């Protein structure tokens, strides 16, 4: 893979990762709104489980974004 190809690939990956993060944040917002409604104890527990799951997913996506950023910086250094 050429340097240009690697750079384009990392750029696409960064964009997809950013989209994922935005989708997770939107889902978190919807869950937060749902949690404001009158829920049964079981429903509230399910919402809490989903919130925990989304928090973990967001952390993983943010970690991935950091790794991509590091790779982009390294790629930029090697092209200089």
Per-residue model confidence (pLDDT) at position 76: 87
Q: Which domain holds residue 20?
A: 3-79
pTM comes to 0.87
> Residues 47-79: pLDDT tens digits?
999 999 999 999 999 999 999 999 999 988 886
Q: State CA 80 to chain mean position distance.
A: 30
CATH of the domain at 69: 1.20.58
CB atoms within 10 A of CB 24: 20
Q: Please tell me the distance from the alpha carbon of residue 78 to that of residue 22, in angstroms, as a whole number.
A: 31
- Helices 41-79 and 3-35, interaxial angle, to 10°? 160
As for how many domains the chain has, the answer is 1
pLDDT at 80 > cutoff 90: no
Measured CA to CA, the distance from residue 69 to residue 54 in angstroms comes to 22
Contact 35, 72 (CB under 8 A): no
């Amino acid at each position: 893979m050429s340097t240009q190809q690697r750079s384009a690939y990392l750029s696409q990956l960064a964009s997809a990762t950013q989209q994922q993060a935005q989708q997770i944040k939107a889902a978190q917002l919807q869950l937060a709104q749902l949690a404001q409604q009158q829920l049964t104890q079981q429903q509230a527990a399910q919402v809490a489980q989903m919130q925990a799951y989304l928090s973990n997913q967001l952390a993983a996506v943010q970690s991935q974004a950091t790794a991509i950023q590091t790779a982009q910086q390294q790629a930029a250094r090697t092209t200089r």
